[in-house]
A and B are shown apart, each in its own frame.
Chain A
Amino acid sequence: MVNESSQSAVQRLIGSWLYVGSTLDGKPQPERGASPKGIIIYDAHGYMACHVAPDRDVARAGKEPTGDEAKAALADHIAYFGTYSVDERERTVTHHRQGSVQPGDKGDVVRGYEFAGDRLILRPVGTTREVIWERIS
């Protein structure tokens, strides 16, 4: 068993994490409903993917979603993937996005990281937002 503190941040990040919730200024954020679901994955080869879904049923009346149905489906839904890099001095992980479903989404996002037991806390830099994850084990 490797002592956790002797592991690099990358080693601790690698794996899959379930979405627990988000807070802003320390307060839970209700916009994704009672039981939002999500996963973030950091693989051993520098690839990552993230998906967070609001607790909300979005229907589709026809074969293809209408513009309004598509807009409702995208609201508060996060889905992107790409590669990642870790800056251990800054304690940040950068997500280099190759694809994101949100229109207008571009480029990298930087997150401060903190490990707390089985939890991972990601903080978009320059905000008071926290996104909390729990390791799948």
Chain B
Amino acid sequence: MTQSEVAKQLIGSWRYIGTRINGGNWDRGANPKGMIYYGPHGEMAVQIAPDVKRTRAGAEMTPEEAKIALKDYIAYFGTYSIDEQAGTVTHHRQDSLQPGDKGDLVRRYEFAGDRLVLRPPNSTMEVSWERIK
């Protein structure tokens, strides 16, 4: 597989910096953590964990504990493809943690130094990442 220049730039792991929408910060708590990975064989995975306490009092979680733990936690993986003309990367998801979450996601990409900014089309949302190296 010949890798495009964009693929070469994308490949690797990126640390979550934050999400902005309508010019403000998307609230995932004080110190959310996350990682997105683009592999050399077309595989990808992402996780973003909001900064909340995910506790479990008993041996089995209660519905309320489950709801808190799951809220806004992003975890999905699959493959990806790049459309250089459109400037987009599409995440073809094989699984997502969130119930009812299915199908492909398209993101416009922008590289700025060590940063990667991903933007869902037709949205004011932008998700910023920093290259892990």
Contacts and interface: CB of A to CB of B under 8 A. Distances in A.
Interface of A: 15-16, 37-39, 41, 43-45, 47, 49, 51, 53, 58-60, 64-74, 77, 79-81, 98-105, 136-137
B55 A103 contact: yes
Contacts, number: 135
B37 A49 contact: yes
B99 A104 contact: no
A79 B99 CA distance: 14
B132 to A, nearest CB: 5
Interface of B: 12-13, 33-35, 37, 39, 41, 43, 45, 47-49, 54-56, 61-71, 73, 75-77, 94-95, 97-100, 132-133
Contact of A77 (B77, B97, B100): B97
A102 B48 CA distance: 13
Nearest to B131: A45
Contacts of A45: 13, 132-133
B106 to A, nearest CB: 21
B49 to A, nearest CB: 3
A106 B133 CA distance: 26
Given A49-B45, A70-B69, A103 B39 contact: no
Nearest to A73: B99
Contact of A99 (B34, B71, B99): B34
